[in-house]
Structure 1
């Protein structure tokens, strides 16, 4: 799967946008990508913060990610790499702190209990605001559908020929949200240590503000996921046969049968699989994770100047999806329990997906990071 469309957030929009969801085989050219995005922070200075500065304590539940220079993007041996993951390009990243695991239901509940925050999936749907981001001819769905909810996964009853028609396994579920991840009759009982899901971008930002954190950039996320495997496809190396032992993904025929070779059919509690070199859990599979970067189809092509290095890049200046110019999307990373080699294989480090700011999905969560300066400020 190359990307998630703007209409992916609401199932009923598949009816109107289904033609746009088909996989296109066009070759990206200079005419296919936005001229709005320009390389930022190009430098020959690769001096970065590698070690934790004296006097700084690692925040609870976080781990230090040492600074360094890496190649972001697809490695040469990755046969599953998409064009928007290429070419690989050098980035210099200052060291930072990152959550050991994805934010859990218990952690998010503490935030909500203290702030009374209401997530996007729990709010009334504003058609006037929604239609500004859709083609002008898009008709308003019936009021019975325009109710607070989110997208939940449903297994198909038989083999699916077109794996780019997402409506065959996603359903708009009224009442689905972070408190009811599998629908209105579900609860968080026994799921306290699962990653929180049905989280829109602004929900993640609200949590970050409360916690004194921020979302990682895509470059930071890749630096963290790589660990010491800086030239590898996966966070553990290149051996895909290790997948079921290392990550929670879909094993079997997607979206019909999950053999649960990795032990789970849906989300797993955090820390159920071995951590990577830096001590991070679930950097592959389980749930997708938000980053702070705008998605631009051709961003990697634009920054791929081998004579320069991007230092602490913040991603594209503005969003642009060559297949959906209406979209304003952020990059998410890591893949989820639904990723399968036949479908997206996004448990690869370089895999990147675009999704709209108000998307809240059963397989989308987040984790936070903190810079040295942020920790200094919090310590007074």
Structure 2
């Protein structure tokens, strides 16, 4: 782990997606954070020590998912599959497939394994799995504000963790999708899927892989930023150590009919591209259902 000094910073952005607004002044206390996301090797040690079974390894109960086809009641997880050509970018079923038998040990499905992936971020981790690991390790999951403060590395109000250019002088500084998503990945960064931790330069605090590679769970329920809610009441001030809302109030504006609680994930992944999901930035945020695991979501821990 590495020490993050804490302090006041401008959180969010007014230049990209509406859920990141408003850009606001936030204060966080000092904390320690994992230098890299939790790897397959580290998660394997946790699983051996505790016998933990991840959500992806447990068949869903149809009673919990009204309308679910009985044939889907098998353990598994969502795996990304590149398409053969352009598809509508608002129809994620073209590239996401629920694979029976996919889990953290079998990241691409039951016939895959972790050979050569010990130092890659663990994936197919639902929120409860990340929280269980953090508790076992004597740590915690970061709040959204803590995560973003650490990701910025002391760089004030820049679009990216390294400045205002995505690829300065053509340099690939994180694992994201170069080319047209979801069918043409040029792999200029050297990786089609996840990359080993520390494959790219650290940020100003010495932390690796905060941007791209895998999304990372936070402790916060998804909600509008506190500053946005306060602005409606005419209040304006620095927010100290903000926390997310509640499970009851967490939501995804694009799917209001789904009542499963959502946590904030941060950092983007190897599937973020200039033509789709430009969330390879510290300010970016996304709501993820707590029962969901995918081939591009992992996590890291902090100690306060």
Determine if the TM-score, normalized by the shorter chain, exceeds 0.5.
yes
Query: CA–CA distance in 1 between the matches of 2:93 and 2:227?
Result: 30
Q: Does residue 309 of the first structure (1) align with residue 235 of the second (2)?
A: no
TM-superposed deviation, 1:299 = 4.9
Kept after mapping to 1: 8 A contact 2:226/2:242: no
Unaligned regions of 5+ residues in structure 2, if any?
none
> Residues 1-380 of structure 1: matches in 2 within 5 Å?
62-74=1-13, 76=14, 78=15, 81-131=16-66, 139-143=67-71, 145-160=72-87, 162-242=88-168, 245-297=172-224, 299-304=226-231, 307-317=236-246, 318-325=249-256, 326-371=259-304
Partner-residue secondary structure (3-state), 2:63 = helix
Deviates more, 1:192-201 or 1:82-91: 82-91
Aligned length: 297
Q: For 1:169-225, what per-residue CA distance to the aligned partner results, in whole angstroms no more than 9, with x for missing partners?
A: 011100000000111111111100000000000000110110001100000011001
Kept after mapping to 2: 8 A contact 1:229/1:237: yes
Query: CA–CA distance in 2 between the matches of 1:300 and 1:329?
Result: 20
TM-superposed deviation, 1:298 = 6.2
Unaligned regions of 5+ residues in structure 1, if any?
1-61, 132-138, 372-380
Question: CA separation of 1:256/1:244 partners in 2, compared to 1, >3 Å: closer, same or farther?
Answer: farther
TM-superposed deviation, 1:125 = 1.0
Query: CA–CA distance in 1 between the matches of 2:171 and 2:127?
Result: 29
Query: CA–CA distance in 2 between the matches of 1:149 and 1:299?
Result: 36
Kept after mapping to 2: 8 A contact 1:244/1:261: no
Kept after mapping to 1: 8 A contact 2:260/2:290: no
Kept after mapping to 2: 8 A contact 1:297/1:320: no
Query: CA–CA distance in 2 between the matches of 1:347 and 1:367?
Result: 17
TM-superposed deviation, 1:113 = 0.4
Question: CA separation of 1:64/1:202 partners in 2, compared to 1, >3 Å: closer, same or farther?
Answer: same
TM-superposed deviation, 1:244 = 5.1
Query: CA–CA distance in 1 between the matches of 2:145 and 2:300?
Result: 15
> Which of structures 1 and 2 has the bigger CA Rg?
1
Give 1:13's aligned residue: none
Partner-residue secondary structure (3-state), 1:289 = strand
Partner-residue secondary structure (3-state), 1:245 = coil
Give RMSD over aligned pairs. 1.5
